[in-house]
Amino acid sequence: MRILTPEQVRGLDERTIATLGLEGALLMETAGRAMARAIVDRVGRGDGRWVTVLAGTGNNGGDGFVVARVLAAHGFRVEVYGVGDAGRMTPETQTHFKAMRACGLDCRFFTQAPRPPELQGIRRSLGRSAAIVDALVGIGPTEDLRDPLATFAAQLDGRYRGLVVAADVPSGLCAVDGRILGVAVKAHLVVTMAAPKAGLFLGKGPELWEELEVADIGVPPAWIEAVHPCGERLDVARARALLPARPDDGHKGKFGHVFVVAGSPGKGGAALLCAGAAMRSGVGLCTVGTSGEIRARLEGDWPDAMVEAIRGGASEIKRIEKLLQRKTAIVAGPGLGTGAAELDLVGRLLAMSTVAVLLDADALTVLATKPELAQPAAGRLVLTPHPGEMAVLLDSTVEAVEADRLAAAHTVAQRFQAVVVLKGSRTLVVAPDGDWAIWPTPNAALAKGGSGDVLAGIIGALLAQGLSCFHAAQLGVSVHALAGERLRAEFGERAGLPSDLTQLLPAVWRSLEDSATGGVESSPNRSLAPRSGER
């Protein structure tokens, strides 16, 4: 799903009005009707039940006035609160305010924060409502909300059982970067106009909504497709679109040869998980380069991959050159170690190879020690840090990384001219040019050591099969997440293991190949209060 900036969406709106001759009030009517339809689809017709609409004086408020009028026609008893100076309504909003009034609906405006008795009445209205419409502010604000907007937005904090529906973005969420502007609405459903906004997926954005619906308000789809998106929401459809070709007449040589440099005494499992995931992800050949001790343990007992002993040092140059021959991608780092020999080995792999290289785990620690090692591989690197490793790469703190994950990932992507996969509850994929993609669904079932080794193996296999660094990372993150959904469904959030995750990969790949469902997308936030049975 393509993600646009607020500025891009505003440009599309203006072009639609100017080129197609569609008035802004008509776009607002279409947006409000889409919201009303979404509410009726989820809670049914009114039958005398209450709806509360909180409407500002900007265009977002106009959407709310349309919703109020349409829902009243569907049999709801609608109570409308205007928030702000009625004299400062935009012309389009005023048009729909007058239309709502003409249909017999009243609206009380608040230019200041409501007094305690007034606030008590507002809370009674919210508490009895089957649905609550947040049309306070839209995609424009970038500074903290002030009263009366702040007080009204603060009421929608998850305490009410009615379906909370936000117009475009939850009020108080910065649509640019996902910052909370002092206080923000928690919505069960966001109906966003024309295209999703970046702030819904960045920063705190994903924590403020459960379900997202994109409303067609009249902007031609071809125009939306022609805009270069600032980001992509990763999902099943995107994963299916990125699948590499798999011709029936192919053979192992056509599907790549990945070289997994991983494992050390006590950490041999990392090599097994990484290489196993690669072999489960379509690569034709897999060679594991590991310590002599691990090789002796694996050789003969693991038929799926070739195993070679490898170490750093000047005496190993010829051997490394030989091992790199005919490899189409390299994965280095899982369980590798961070001593002098490993530092030398990682440097030589980067300098002597000509194919895509993924650095994970211990290789990232090595890179932080000597960042100049990455220079020979600039443009063909994928880095897969968790927040702690990212903090080391930036000489920063985990708290600073988590405060602005996109900025942190973009800084490292530019510094190393690499695609960065910043792992976490909502994994980000960021390219050096600033393009990004995100898997927005958290999954505690993946929070175990070894899950990242599986991810590295999946991406490495896709690199070996010829996908670009950015596309391989996007598809790998998606497949890993979909396998994680199956892991949670089968084992719950506690009992699944990374080795189980590897065993679930075939089902994910099969579902994508067969154009089946491929797993159910969970809501980005499972923590909001449950709604009543009437939903």
Range(s) for CATH 3.40.50.10260 in the chain?
Answer: 2-233
- Residue 292's pLDDT is 83
Pseudo-torsion of CA 159, 163, 166, 170, nearest 10°?
A: 30
Q: Name the nearest CA neighbour of 56 among 153, 131, 192.
A: 153
**In whole angstroms, what is the distance from residue 98 CA to residue 121 CA?**
25
- Residue 534's pLDDT is 35
- Residue 312's pLDDT is 87
Residue 280, both tokens = 């489960």
Residue 261, both tokens = 């440099």
DSSP letter at 2 equals E
CATH fold for the domain made of 252-474: UDP-N-acetylmuramoyl-L-alanine:D-glutamate ligase (3.40.1190)
Q: Regarding beta strands 329-332 and 356-359, do their DSSP bridges make them parallel or antiparallel, or are they unpaired?
A: parallel
SS3 87: helix
**pLDDT beneath 70, residues of the chain:** 515-535
SS3 244: coil
**In whole angstroms, what is the distance from residue 4 CA to residue 488 CA?**
31
* Centroid of chain to Cα 147: 32
Half-sphere exposure of 473 (CA within 13 A, CB side): 30
Q: Name the nearest CA neighbour of 135 among 107, 171, 161.
A: 171
Q: What b-and-e string marks burial along 90-127, b requiring 16 or more CB atoms within 10 Å of the CB?
A: bebbbbbbebbeeeebebebbeebbeeeeeeebeebbe
Contact 2, 435 (CB under 8 A): no
| DSSP string of 205-236, one letter each residue | GGGGEEEEEEE--S--HHHHHHS--SEEE--H
**In whole angstroms, what is the distance from residue 3 CA to residue 228 CA?**
9
Output Rg (C-alpha) for the chain, integer angstroms. 26
Alpha helices in 444-468 (DSSP H): 451-464
* Centroid of chain to Cα 41: 26
Burial environment of residue 147 by CB neighbours within 10 A (0 to 12, 13 to 18, 19 or more): middle
SS3 82: strand
Range(s) for CATH 3.40.1190.20 in the chain?
Answer: 252-474
Provide the whole-model pTM: 0.89
In terms of CATH, what superfamily is 2-233?
YjeF N-terminal domain (3.40.50.10260)
Burial environment of residue 311 by CB neighbours within 10 A (0 to 12, 13 to 18, 19 or more): middle
Helices (H) and strands (E) in the chain, counts: 19, 18
